[in-house]
């Protein structure tokens, strides 16, 4: 049997879904509870965004991140906290003015995107490794900004989870590691099925895995209907997995997931059917080489 599989639960995400789907957690209390319940269901890591409690819209408010992290830590839950640095990259161009950001953009300088990491020092944080078309605009992560965020993550002593949406993102990650701007043993996270990134197919996942440095710890996930097929593919290829309401709102076709924990339990069953099991948070810490905060 392969090493235990680390499952990350992405509990809320940064898309405007909360107003349409009541299961998506919004307040710091709801987000923290979702992370704790996901851990009780089998998740080792909780990947966390925050939302404005009044509107449900995505937020970058440090106070909201602090409340979520404090609630999780004060609960005694062993779950590994993984905070995002993704917000601040969205660019939707104006239809009438060249080089201007239109409605829906949230561009921020690198220092603002990583401020909460320096303040709260989670065990893990994500780092998007490149630019891609996304929805009506693009997610802008130019190399200089990626390097600036990476430097701050390293200064904070936080394990980076490198989110790669396409093969070129892997190449950039390897180059940044080679130049000493990131620790040599990050967790790679392959993001599949996002329009217009790498498609969620077995062939693409195998190809992206083949690009990684030998011995790398890696995970993969698929969005929407590809979530559970990519759980199976990642396990078969020896990787770790991710599920959660950030990526997919359905437990099965036509059946909305009542909460994040239900998605974790389904993934756990699938992992066990494939002959292995989910790692506990402490086992995940050993596999990833991180100390408990």
Per-residue pLDDT, 72: 98
Residue 37 domain flag: yes
Per-residue pLDDT, 101: 87
Give the CA distances from residue 15 to residues 1, 113, 239, in Å, rounded to whole numbers and listed in that order.
37, 17, 26
Report cis status (omega within 30 of 0) of the bond before 27.
no
Residue 167 domain flag: yes
Residue 153 domain flag: yes
CA–CA gap between residue 156 and residue 16 (Å, rounded): 30
Per-residue pLDDT, 95: 87
CATH at residue 144? 3.20.20.70
Give the CA angle between residues 204, 209, 212 to the nearest 5°. Answer: 135
**For the chain, how many structural domains are there in total?**
1
CA–CA gap between residue 122 and residue 157 (Å, rounded): 9
Beta strand 159-164 with 137-139 is unpaired
Q: Which residues pair with 49 in a beta bridge?
A: none
Residue 1 domain flag: no
Q: What is the pLDDT along the chain (293 residues), one digit of tens a residue?
A: 578 999 999 999 998 898 899 999 999 999 999 999 999 999 999 999 999 999 999 999 999 999 999 999 999 999 999 999 999 999 999 888 878 888 888 999 999 999 999 999 999 999 999 999 988 899 999 999 999 999 999 999 999 999 999 999 999 999 999 999 999 999 999 999 998 899 999 999 999 999 999 999 999 999 999 999 999 999 999 999 999 999 999 999 999 999 999 999 999 999 999 999 999 999 999 999 997 66
Per-residue pLDDT, 1: 53
Residue 293 domain flag: no
Residue 19 domain flag: yes
Per-residue pLDDT, 100: 87
Q: Enumerate residues 6+ apart whose C-beta is below 8 A from 102.
A: 92, 93, 94, 95, 137
CA–CA gap between residue 153 and residue 173 (Å, rounded): 14
Residue 2 domain flag: no
pTM for this entry: 0.96
Per-residue pLDDT, 3: 86
Residue 38 domain flag: yes
Per-residue pLDDT, 293: 61
Domain with 38, as residue range(s), is 7-288
């Amino acid at each position: 049997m392969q090493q235990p599989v680390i499952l990350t639960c992405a509990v809320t995400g940064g898309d405007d879904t909360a107003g349409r789907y009541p299961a998506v957690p919004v307040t710091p209390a709801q987000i923290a509870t979702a992370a704790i319940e996901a851990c009780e269901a089998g998740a080792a890591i909780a990947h966390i965004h925050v939302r404005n409690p009044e509107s449900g819209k995505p937020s970058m408010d440090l106070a909201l991140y602090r409340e979520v992290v404090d609630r999780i830590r004060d609960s005694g839950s062993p779950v590994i906290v993984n905070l995002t640095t993704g917000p601040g990259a969205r660019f939707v161009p104006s239809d009438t003015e060249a080089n201007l950001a239109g409605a829906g953009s949230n561009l921020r300088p690198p220092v603002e995107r990583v401020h909460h990491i320096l303040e709260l020092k989670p065990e893990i944080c994500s780092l998007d490794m490149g630019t891609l078309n996304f929805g009506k605009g693009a997610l802008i992560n130019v190399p200089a900004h990626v390097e600036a965020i990476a430097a701050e993550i390293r200064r904070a002593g936080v394990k980076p989870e490198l989110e790669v949406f396409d093969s070129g993102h892997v190449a950039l990650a390897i180059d940044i590691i080679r130049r000493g701007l990131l620790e040599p043993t990050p967790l790679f996270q392959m993001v599949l099925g996002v329009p217009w990134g790498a498609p969620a197919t077995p062939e693409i996942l195998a190809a992206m895995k083949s690009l990684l440095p030998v011995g790398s710890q890696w995970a993969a996930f698929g969005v929407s209907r590809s979530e559970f097929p990519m759980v199976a593919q990642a396990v078969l290829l020896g990787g770790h997995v991710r599920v959660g309401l950030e990526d997919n709102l359905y437990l099965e076709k036509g059946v909305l997931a009542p909460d994040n924990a239900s998605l974790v339990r389904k993934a756990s069953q699938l992992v066990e059917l494939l002959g292995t099991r989910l790692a506990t948070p402490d086992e995940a810490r050993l596999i990833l080489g991180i100390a408990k905060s």
